[in-house]
Amino acid sequence: METKKNEFEYSERTLKSQRFDPRLIEHIVRLAEQGTPRRELVKTYGMHSHTLGKWIVSLSSSLKKRKRYTTAEKRSIVRAIKGGMTVNAAVVAFNISTSTVIRRWVKDFSDENMEISVPNPIEMRKSPTLKSENAEIVALKKALEEANMKNRALNTLIDVAEEQLKIEIRKKPGARQSSK
């Protein structure tokens, strides 16, 4: 029997209860890191998918350095999921370790509106320090500016929704109510 450069000698398992050769385990993990589909590795080497997952977690060099994702990165991945991408496709596309991480992000960010991130409006405090009229005018101008910015953001959201969905959301001026 010829041995190639990539092949090596390892002891075959004769029983299912017998342990895998450690050299074979390292070889299988390397194949998984190089992009060989896990399903193919499980079928070829006769192991359970959970076993392969445990080996990859414990031996993989790329997983030993856990990547920290910023909130903006998490939101963009969640936006992609809500836009129609599957969780498994996102795992591959964004090189994330497991789908559980993405599902947790989707759950965490489900309360937020992903299209607009408008900070909570600052409530104007009624304190004795704002006694002068100039300070009150400045505070009112700031509140007006924030309200105008929110209004522009909502109008932009409606415009984008009308363009993408090809339906009119805003009422036409002078439109009558239906007779139903």
Tell me: the pLDDT tens digits for 152-170? 888 888 888 888 888 888 7
Residue partners of 58: CB distance under 8 A and separation at least 6: none
Report field, pTM of the whole predicted structure over 0.85: no
pLDDT band of 61, cuts 50, 70, 90: low
Q: CA-CA distance, 21 to 13, in Å (whole number)?
A: 8
User: How far is the first Cα of the chain from the last one, in angstroms, to the nearest whole number?
Assistant: 84
Task: Please report how the helices 99-108 and 71-82 are oriented relative to each other, as an axis angle in degrees rounded to 10.
Answer: 90
pLDDT band of 11, cuts 50, 70, 90: low
Structure tokens, 25 = 């385990």
pLDDT band of 4, cuts 50, 70, 90: very low
Instruction: Indicate the domain borders of the chain.
Output: 22-64, 71-108, 116-169
- Which residue type, as a one-letter code, is found at position 17? S
